[in-house]
Amino acid sequence: MTCPHGINLKHKRCDSCEEVARGEGWKDMKTEKTQEFDFHEIDLHNLHEEWASQVRMYRHYAELLAGARRDHEHAKTDREVAEKDLKLAGAEVDLEIRRAGPEKFGLEKFTEPSIENLVRINKKYKTAQDEAFRFQRVTIDLGHKVGMLEAAVKTLDNRKKALEDAVQLRLSDYFSEPRKPRAVQDSEAKSAFNKKKNKAEHPFYGA
């Protein structure tokens, strides 16, 4: 049971792709689904429950973010190692080609472009190149995951402020009685103003 990076998941965890041994098999970071919450829905009639869920959600996503940042740093280190291995493989293959001589490759003589082409098609070099590309993709994916979790935590910070405002409104009895729509309030205020204005201009208006 191995992940795409060749890690035996029966014995240890692959920090690069977050694949872990799980009973019947491994689960990939891209397909693993975490519990999802609707950050924007707030039950104004059960604020005590909303605060309890806020604490749980914040801790949940903060822990996910911390883990994603750790894995992203590991992936960046692995990518740097893979890139160094690619350069080393290229140098070793280049030296092997020069020592073998052009005749082995059906050439009359070597040119720098011909040697570069021979290096690129060499199996050893291509294997190292594939590994470097793989770690680049893993690093990009984990960077995206970090960004998404940072957005989630930021949204939860905003949600906390919204809950604090909702509590203040509750304490001020904002929800204690039905309130007319803003348009109706504006219409009634304008009507009252006009009535008062007409009465001032015409003392016997409405008498």
pLDDT one-digit tens code per residue, 4-29:
445 444 444 454 454 433 333 323 34
pLDDT digits 0-9 by tens, 57-74: 889 999 999 999 999 999
**Does position 165 have pLDDT exceeding 90, yes or no?**
no
| Domain contains 128 | yes
Q: Comparing 31 with 120, which gets the higher pLDDT? A: 120
Residue owning tokens 């082995």: 104
Domain span at 38: 34-176
| CA atoms of 192 and 206, how far apart (whole Å) | 13
In sign, the C-alpha dihedral spanning 153, 154, 155, 161 is positive
| Domain contains 184 | no
Beta strands in 10-79 (DSSP E): 20-22, 25-27
Per the structure, how many domains does the chain have?
A: 1
Q: Are strands 20-22 and 25-27 parallel, antiparallel or unpaired?
A: antiparallel
- Position 44 scores a pLDDT of 76
- Position 184 scores a pLDDT of 67
Determine the 3-state secondary structure of 28 from DSSP. coil
Supply the mean pLDDT for the chain.
77
| Domain contains 152 | yes
- Position 12 scores a pLDDT of 44
| Domain contains 153 | yes
| CA atoms of 140 and 42, how far apart (whole Å) | 34
pTM of the model: 0.60
| Domain contains 148 | yes
Determine the 3-state secondary structure of 22 from DSSP. strand
- Position 16 scores a pLDDT of 46
Q: Which helix (H) or strand (E) element contains residue 150?
A: helix 123-171
Q: Span 146-169, mean pLDDT? A: 88
Determine the 3-state secondary structure of 180 from DSSP. coil
Band (pLDDT 50/70/90 cuts) for residue 43 is confident
| Domain contains 146 | yes
Q: Where residue 42 sits, what CATH number does that domain have?
A: 1.10.287
| Domain contains 29 | no
- Position 199 scores a pLDDT of 62
| Domain contains 156 | yes
Contact of 38 with 46, CB cutoff 8 Å: no
Q: Span 142-168, mean pLDDT? A: 89
